[in-house]
Amino acid sequence: MKVTHKLLETFSKECADKNLSIFLLSKLGNYFSIPANPNNSISNYSGYILNIDGEMFKAIENIYISGIDGKKVPYEIVNGFNYFERLYDGYYERFTLVKNGLIYDVESQEEVIIDVELDFRWINDYDDMGREYRIYKIDDSLMIEYNKYRDNSLK
């Protein structure tokens, strides 16, 4: 996979994509890290992680474009230092980490399927008991509400 860095000058290098990850960090301590190749899983600490009063909370596991044949694999990663892009034939994804959020853009000549894998939890809370998700729509927005209880009794 080709990796291109854009700063004062642009330079590129071919890299093996097996352990290649993309990482953005905000001044607030939030970070976004995903595998360059969406088919690779690199770490339990990947995703969109929020710093809430010094504690790390995971909200998103992964975001990627998929098709009938599975997850699409980009041919190039562009590191703009305050954003990164995954380039494909005919389209690209751009990820930008801002002060209080993550901006995800897709530019495409055709319709694409975007998968967003959510994983709401404190970073070291691997217990899936008592997790409750409520999904509903308000106007043109999809709302996802998450509650965590001590156990599956939901109390």
Give a three-class secondary structure readout of the chain. CEEEEECCCEEEEECCCCCCEEEEECCCCCEEEEECCCCCCCCCCCEEEEEECCEEEEEEEEEEEEECCEECCCCEEEECCCEEEEEECCEEEEEEEECCEEEEEEEECCCCEEEEEEEEEECCCCCCCCEEEEEEEECCEEEEEEEECCCCCCC
Find all residues with CB under 8 Å of 87, minimum gap 6, and list them: 74, 75, 76, 77, 78
pLDDT of residue 154: 62
Q: Which pTM was predicted?
A: 0.85
pLDDT of residue 133: 86
pLDDT of residue 100: 84
pLDDT of residue 155: 61
pLDDT of residue 150: 72
pLDDT of residue 152: 66
Could you state, in chain order, the average pLDDT of each consecutive group of 10 residues for the chain (155 residues)? 92 87 93 92 88 95 87 93 93 93 92 90 84 90 84 65
pLDDT of residue 1: 92
Determine how many CB atoms are found less than 10 A away from the CB of residue 79: 16
pLDDT of residue 104: 95
pLDDT of residue 26: 93
